[in-house]
C-alpha cells in the first residue's frame, strides 16, 4: 500500500505514531509537460502538477490524511469542518476510513456535484446562508465553529494554518515531491488561492528543499484578499466585501492565512496575480481540449496567472514554470456544461456515422 504523505514523515515535524497514520494513497501526483498551450504562448518549460489525480480528486486529500491522523492521535471522536467542496470530500473520505462522524458547514454557493460527493462518503451537510459570500456572516460562522470545535471529543478542521496547522503540513508534501523533479530546479510555481493555505504550504515545504522557486499567488478578481495587496507592496490582506467570483473553492472573503502568504511569496520572489472568471473558464476548456487535463475551474487559475505574468513581461519564457492543477473537472458539472453548451450528441444510424467520417 502506498504510504501516501507519510513517505515524507521525516520532513513533517510532529507526526502521529504509525498506528494512527491514515492514508488513501494520496500524493505522488503526476508532473506533466505542456505539449500545446505552453509552446503556443512561447513558454518552453511549462509543467502541470496534476493534484486532480488524488483519491477524491483534489490536493485536499493531503490535508485530510494529515488532519484526521492527528485527530485520531489526539483521541478525538467527531470532526467538524467548513467546505466549499474539496475539503469536505477529502475529509469525508478520510473520516469514513477512520470511523469518525463528519459534520460540515457548507458555503452557500457550493456546487451540487461536490455536495453529492461528500454525501456519498457519509458526511452530514448543511449550507449556511451568506457563508462564503458575505464577510461578516463568514466571520460569524467561523467564530461559532471554533467554539463548537472546543467541545469534548470534537475537532474543527479547516484547510488553513490559522486553524489546522497539523493538517496543512500534509499539503507541504507537494513541494517535497516537486523538489525531486526537474533536476531540483524550478523557477516559478503558480498556485490558486482562496484563504491562502495552499500557497503558504508550498512555500513552507520548499523551506526544507533544494529548489527555491518563486511562489506566485493567483486569485480571481472577485476575491482579491491576497494577490492585490501582495502586488501593491502591502504587508496585510484585505477582506473581499462582498466576494463576487463564481469560482468554487476560491470564495473566501475573509483573511485566514493571508498575511503569512504575502510574506512567504514576497520572500521567495513571487508576486500576486488577479485574473477574471472569464479567463479561468476559457483556460479550463483549453486545458481539456489542448492538454487532456480535465480540471475544475479553480484548477485552471494557476495557468491563468502564469499567462498574465507572461503578458506583463514578468517571467522569462524559457524559465521552468509549474502550474498546480488543484482539482478534477468531475467535481463541477455546471462548469463543464458551460464549456460544452450547445454541443448536442445526436442519435444516428451506423451508415450516417460512417458518412460523417468522410
Chain segment 263-319, per-residue pLDDT in tens: 999 999 999 999 999 999 999 999 999 999 999 999 999 999 999 999 999 999 999
* Same domain as 133, residue 182: no
* Same domain as 206, residue 133: no
Position 49 scores a pLDDT of: 98
Position 109 scores a pLDDT of: 86
* Same domain as 156, residue 233: no
* Same domain as 149, residue 119: yes
Residue 14 in any domain: the answer is yes
- Cα 70 to chain centroid, rounded: 21
CATH number at residue 181: 3.40.50.1100
**Among 119, 142, 167, which residue terminates a domain?**
167
Name residue, grid cell 486532480. 52
* Same domain as 323, residue 177: yes
Give the domain range for residue 228. 4-58+168-339
* Distant-in-sequence, close-in-space partners of 292: CB < 8 Å, separation ≥ 6: none
**Among 121, 138, 167, which residue terminates a domain?**
167
State the Cα–Cα distance between residues 79 and 6, nearest whole angstrom: 21
Distances in whole angstroms, Cα of residue 264 to Cα of each of 37, 175, 186, 226: 29, 14, 17, 12
Count of domains forming the chain: 2
* Same domain as 146, residue 93: yes
Q: With a cut of 50, which residues of the chain have pLDDT below it?
A: 1
Residue 354 in any domain: the answer is no
DSSP per residue over 272-324, as a string?
A: EEEE-HHHHHHHHHHIIIII---B-GGGGHHHHHHHHHHHTT-S-TTS-EEEE
Tell me the pLDDT of the chain averaged across its residues: 94
Position 2 scores a pLDDT of: 63
Residue 219 in any domain: the answer is yes
* Same domain as 27, residue 154: no
Position 89 scores a pLDDT of: 95
State the Cα–Cα distance between residues 87 and 62, nearest whole angstrom: 10
Position 338 scores a pLDDT of: 82
* Same domain as 159, residue 218: no
- In the β-sheet with 321-325, what is the strand arrangement from edge to edge? 31-33, 46-50, 321-325, 188-192, 214-220, 272-275
Amino acid at each position: 500500500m502506498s504510504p501516501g504523505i507519510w513517505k515524507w514523515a521525516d520532513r513533517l515535524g510532529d507526526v502521529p505514531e504509525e498506528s494512527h497514520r491514515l492514508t488513501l494513497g494520496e500524493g505522488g501526483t503526476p508532473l506533466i509537460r505542456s505539449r500545446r498551450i505552453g509552446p503556443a504562448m512561447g513558454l518552453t518549460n511549462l509543467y502541470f502538477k496534476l493534484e486532480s489525480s488524488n483519491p477524491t480528486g483534489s490536493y485536499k486529500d493531503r490535508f485530510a490524511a494529515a488532519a484526521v491522523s492527528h485527530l485520531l492521535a489526539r483521541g478525538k471522536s467527531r470532526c467538524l469542518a467548513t467546505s466549499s467542496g474539496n475539503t469536505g470530500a477529502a475529509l469525508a473520505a478520510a473520516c469514513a476510513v477512520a470511523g469518525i462522524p463528519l459534520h460540515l458547514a457548507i458555503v452557500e454557493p457550493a456546487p451540487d456535484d461536490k455536495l453529492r460527493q461528500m454525501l456519498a462518503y457519509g458526511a452530514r451537510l448543511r449550507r449556511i446562508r451568506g457563508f462564503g459570500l458575505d464577510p461578516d456572516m463568514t466571520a460569524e460562522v467561523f467564530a461559532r465553529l471554533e467554539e463548537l470545535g472546543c467541545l469534548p471529543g470534537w475537532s474543527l478542521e479547516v484547510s488553513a494554518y490559522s486553524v489546522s496547522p497539523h493538517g496543512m503540513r500534509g499539503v507541504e508534501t507537494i513541494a517535497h515531491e516537486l523538489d525531486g523533479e526537474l533536476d531540483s530546479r524550478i523557477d516559478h510555481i503558480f498556485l490558486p488561492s482562496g484563504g491562502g493555505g495552499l500557497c503558504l504550504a508550498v512555500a513552507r515545504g520548499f523551506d526544507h528543499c533544494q529548489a527555491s522557486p518563486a511562489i506566485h499567488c493567483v486569485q480571481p478578481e472577485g476575491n482579491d484578499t491576497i494577490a492585490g495587496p501582495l502586488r501593491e507592496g502591502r504587508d496585510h490582506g484585505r477582506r473581499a466585501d462582498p466576494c463576487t467570483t463564481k469560482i468554487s473553492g476560491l470564495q473566501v472573503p475573509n483573511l485566514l492565512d493571508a498575511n503569512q502568504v504575502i510574506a512567504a511569496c514576497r520572500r521567495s520572489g513571487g508576486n500576486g496575480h488577479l485574473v477574471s472568471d472569464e479567463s479561468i473558464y476559457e483556460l479550463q476548456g483549453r486545458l481539456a481540449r489542448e492538454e487532456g487535463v480535465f480540471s475544475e475551474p479553480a484548477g485552471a487559475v494557476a495557468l491563468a496567472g502564469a499567462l498574465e505574468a507572461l503578458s506583463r513581461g514578468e517571467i522569462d519564457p524559457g524559465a521552468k514554470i509549474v502550474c498546480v492543477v488543484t482539482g478534477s473537472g468531475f467535481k463541477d458539472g455546471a462548469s463543464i456544461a458551460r464549456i460544452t453548451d450547445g454541443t448536442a450528441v445526436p442519435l444516428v444510424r451506423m451508415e450516417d456515422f460512417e458518412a460523417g467520417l468522410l
